[in-house]
Amino acid sequence: MTAEYEITKDDLSAFNLYHHRHSPTARRQYLRLWFVPAFILLFICTGIWYLADRERGTPLRTFLDLLPLFSGVPLYLLYFPWAYRRKLRKIVDGMVSEGQNRGLFSRHRVTISPETVTDSSEHGQTSTAWRAVERVAAADEHAYIYTNALAAIIVPRRAFAGPLEFEEFVRAARGHHEKAVA
C-alpha cells in the first residue's frame, strides 16, 4: 500500500501538537506549566485575602474587593492552552525556517509492506522494519508511524482518495506492526 504527498509546515505543527498531547513527558510538563502557576496565584490571593481581612473583619467584603485579583486564576487557566499551542507552533515554524529542509518538503512516497515501511523522496530513502517501529497512531488529519520516540513518518489524510483509503492504510500499518512485535 502506497501514499504520495508533500509535507507542509502545518503537517509538522500538527505532528508536534499531537506528540505533545500524547507524550507522557511532554504531558507532565504541560500540566505542570498549566496548573502550578494557577495554584501559586491562588495561594497568593488567599494569603492577601487572609491578611487584609484580619484588620477589617468582613471576609465577604474583602473577598469582593479582591475579586479582580482572584479572577486572574480562571483567566490564566483558560488562556494557557491557547497560548501554549500558539507558542509551540511558533517554535516549530522557527526551527523549520532555520534550514532549507529539501528532503523534508519534497514529494514523499510511503510504502508499507508486511516487512517494512519505506519513506522515499528524490533526496533519499529510509526503510524501517516493523519490529523497529515504536507505534502507529492516527489523528483526525494524519497518521503517524513513529520510527523512534521523537520522530515519525507523517502521512496526511489528503494523500488518499477518500476516508476509507486512509482508514485502510492505518489499519494495515497497525496490523503489520502488531504482527512484527508479537
What are the structural domain ranges in the chain? 2-8+104-181, 14-97
Please give the pLDDT value at position 136. 95
Contact 144, 138 (CB under 8 A): yes
**pLDDT (0 to 100) of residue 110:** 94
pLDDT at residue 72 in the model: 87
Q: Helix/strand/coil (H, E, C) string of the chain?
A: CEEEEECCHHHHHHHHHHHHHHCHHHHHHHHHHHHHHHHHHHHHHHHHHHHHHHHHCCHHHHHHHCHHHHCHHHHHHHHHHHHHHHHHHHHHHHHHHCCCCCCCCCEEEEEECCCEEEEEECCEEEEEEHHHCCEEEECCCEEEEECCCCCEEEEEHHHCCCHHHHHHHHHHHHHHHHHHHC
- What's the pLDDT at 21? 87
Asked if residues 123 and 106 have their Cβ atoms less than 8 Å apart, the reply is: yes
Q: What is the pLDDT of residue 35?
A: 93
Residue 70, pLDDT score: 83
The per-residue pLDDT for 33 is 92
Residue 154 has a pLDDT of 93
pTM of the model: 0.76
CATH topology for 2-8+104-181 is: PH-domain like (2.30.29)
pLDDT score recorded for residue 59: 78
Burial string for 5-21 (b: 16+ CB within 10 Å, else e) reads bebeeebbbbbbbbbbe
Model pLDDT, residue 13? 84
Taking only the tens of pLDDT, the chain with its 182 residues reads: 899 999 888 888 889 889 988 889 988 999 999 999 999 988 988 888 877 777 667 777 777 878 888 888 999 999 999 999 899 888 888 887 887 777 777 889 999 999 999 999 888 889 999 999 999 999 989 999 999 988 999 999 999 998 999 999 999 999 999 999 88
d(CA 46, CA 59): 11
* Calpha distance 167→143 (Å, rounded): 9
